Structure 1
Amino acid sequence: MPQSPVEVSVSGAVAEVTLCRPAARNALDLPLKQALVRALGDVGSDPAVRAVVLTGRGPAFCVGQDLREHAAALETGAWAEQRTVERHYNPIVTSLATMPKPVVAAVHGACVGAGLGLALACDLRVLATDAVLGTAFTGIGLTFDSGLSVTLTRAVGAARAREIVLRGETFDATSAVAWGIAGQVVPPSDVLTEARALAERLAAGPTAAYAASKRLVAAALDRPLAVSLAAEAREQDALVRTADHQGAVRAFLAKETPRFSGQAPPSPAGSSRP
């Protein structure tokens, strides 16, 4: 049987999602995108999975859209019906960014176009020293997709985001760290090991608190301080009710290491959180 374009493996509470088109440097064709939508939906909704690693097999993380497939779709007009940005890229990025658990990208080799969009939609990134990053869109007469107009701008600031997309130049892992895209650079042989170790540490942590933190950070730049303060109060009120918080406070006072179950907070009747 042919290899699946996306493989999912679970070890303990960590799910590893791997793009599997190594000969094409994990270019995003239709089967891969459809499989990735399904895979991220599955691991995101699985309460037994408390952290996720996203990576690519072979010499590259992901080179973005498969341009051979795209060229054929332009010839036949199929691109108009595929609506791949709406039907594939947007759901993929939404799943990564809003998943109620941490997601770590293990990035090596080429990470460009929508590949960079996938990496920046994750919460944390471990970059290999051989990572080459870029947007690549203007080189083919296009603009941002996969959420990069938001995630890149938030990571590096508006001025540098314009430099990156308008110049169309690639940059290395050291620059990515200096600009705020990632915080860890390791040798290529260690990138997946380090990402797994980070995910395992996060999977043992307070999953509900991580989810609340993701929601607050995502909304922080789009709403007034007063609204954010109210949202923080609601999130904290819910988390205070969790066994994870109450147990961690007892452990702190007893000078013990807390153990987190990752269970969601109880929801009082009629309540809702942003």
Structure 2
Amino acid sequence: MIELSIAGSVAEIVLNAPGKLNALDEAGLGELEAAYGEAAAAVATGEVRALLLRGEGRAFCAGRDIAGVDGANDDARTYLEGLLTPLLRKMSTFPAPTFAAAQGACLGVGLGLLIATDVVYVADNAKIGSPFGNLGATLDSGGHWLFTERLGAHRTLDLIYSSELMSGADAVAAGLFSRAMPVDGLLDFIRAAAAKAATGPTTAFNASKTLVAQIRDQRLGLWDAVERENEAQVALSKTADYAEGFAAFTDKRKPDFTGK
């Protein structure tokens, strides 16, 4: 159900099980991790410089595929800690800019996939929230962190207790994700954004990706963050893209970045 293609320096990974709203079982998580591994290997060779994740059909990902799961004997630890969390970590540290296009249901595991992606554009009709109360379960895949960080504790618990879902437009207005737009234009827009990033200084982009993660996870203060920025800039000053950027500015031309 997971498809990977590479064109124009952009890897595109597709969740292609629209009949079950791209819900992911253990096998699907394994396929998705393998696809990210293959795409990362292509980054190492210079074939890939950006990645796009999307879901086929009317939903991005409705979460875990629980068809046939016996709730009384479910091995949630193996699914979450053994399979899902390693995948989300791999996604969040992917060695190039990553983008996700999300429409329809973006729930549970689907929400986690978005949290682990650098830039998320959602359709106005996206559905985001925590319907887990209907299952006697709790929000997972990093959802508590995202909602508490961006919405605050009260709104987070309101969403959890009510099981109400936010639209994509409301989620962007609340600061959960970057942009919302009509579903008909979403894929073309995000493909263009990924293609543009792939022609940029991707080594510098990766430095920013690391800095943002450090600021988020280590709660860096201003001057600690400035120190990390300085270190990153010194390292980048020794790259070919840095030299090319300055030369292009001086020559009043468009830079030709290679990601090196």
Q: Secondary structure at the match of 1:53?
A: strand
Deviates more, 1:58-67 or 1:143-152: 143-152
With over 3 angstroms needed to count, the CA separation of the structure-2 counterparts of 1:149 and 1:46, relative to structure 1, is: farther
Amino acid at match of 2:35: A
CA contact (8 A) 1:18 1:54 kept: yes
In structure 2, list runs of 5 or more residues that go unmatched. Answer: none
Aligned-residue offset at 1:258: 1.2
Question: Which residue pairs with 2:231 in the alignment?
Answer: 234
Question: Which residue pairs with 1:131 in the alignment?
Answer: 126
Is 1:39 equivalent to 2:39 in the alignment? no
Aligned-residue offset at 1:33: 0.9
CA RMSD in angstroms, aligned pairs only: 1.9
With over 3 angstroms needed to count, the CA separation of the structure-2 counterparts of 1:124 and 1:248, relative to structure 1, is: same
Once residues 260 and 232 of structure 1 are traced to their aligned partners in structure 2, the CA distance between those partners, rounded to angstroms, is 21
Amino acid at match of 1:53: L
Aligned-residue offset at 1:78: 5.6
Aligned-residue offset at 1:165: 2.7
Is 1:110 equivalent to 2:105 in the alignment? yes
Counterpart selection for 1:150 from 134, 145, 149: 145
- The within-5 A match list for 1:27-176 is 27-47=23-43, 48-69=47-68, 71-72=69-70, 74-75=71-72, 77=73, 79=75, 83-176=78-171
Q: Secondary structure at the match of 1:110?
A: coil
Amino acid at match of 1:45: A
Percent identity over paired residues = 36
Aligned-residue offset at 1:185: 2.1
Aligned-residue offset at 1:150: 2.6
Question: Which residue pairs with 2:184 in the alignment?
Answer: 189
The C-alpha deviation readout for 1:23-70, integer Å capped at 9, x for no partner, is 10011112111101111122133222111111111111100011224x
Amino acid at match of 2:259: G
Q: Secondary structure at the match of 2:63?
A: coil
Deviates more, 1:88-97 or 1:216-225: 216-225
Question: Which residue pairs with 2:257 in the alignment?
Answer: 260
CA contact (8 A) 1:129 1:187 kept: yes
CA contact (8 A) 1:93 1:147 kept: no
Aligned-residue offset at 1:13: 0.6
Aligned-residue offset at 1:208: 0.9
Aligned-residue offset at 1:147: 2.1
Question: Which residue pairs with 2:245 in the alignment?
Answer: 248
Aligned-residue offset at 1:136: 2.0
CA contact (8 A) 1:112 1:134 kept: yes
Once residues 9 and 119 of structure 1 are traced to their aligned partners in structure 2, the CA distance between those partners, rounded to angstroms, is 20
Amino acid at match of 2:239: T
- In the superposition, the TM-score normalised over structure 1's length comes to 0.86
Once residues 216 and 99 of structure 1 are traced to their aligned partners in structure 2, the CA distance between those partners, rounded to angstroms, is 14
Q: Secondary structure at the match of 2:38?
A: helix
Q: Secondary structure at the match of 2:180?
A: strand
Q: Secondary structure at the match of 2:200?
A: coil
With over 3 angstroms needed to count, the CA separation of the structure-2 counterparts of 1:220 and 1:157, relative to structure 1, is: farther
- In the superposition, the TM-score normalised over structure 2's length comes to 0.90
With over 3 angstroms needed to count, the CA separation of the structure-2 counterparts of 1:30 and 1:259, relative to structure 1, is: same
With over 3 angstroms needed to count, the CA separation of the structure-2 counterparts of 1:163 and 1:53, relative to structure 1, is: same
Once residues 145 and 87 of structure 1 are traced to their aligned partners in structure 2, the CA distance between those partners, rounded to angstroms, is 14
Once residues 4 and 197 of structure 2 are traced to their aligned partners in structure 1, the CA distance between those partners, rounded to angstroms, is 18
With over 3 angstroms needed to count, the CA separation of the structure-2 counterparts of 1:65 and 1:256, relative to structure 1, is: same
With over 3 angstroms needed to count, the CA separation of the structure-2 counterparts of 1:31 and 1:162, relative to structure 1, is: same
The C-alpha deviation readout for 1:227-264, integer Å capped at 9, x for no partner, is 4333222211111111111110111122211121012x
The C-alpha deviation readout for 1:5-32, integer Å capped at 9, x for no partner, is 1000111110110111111001111211
Question: Which residue pairs with 2:15 in the alignment?
Answer: 19
Amino acid at match of 1:49: V
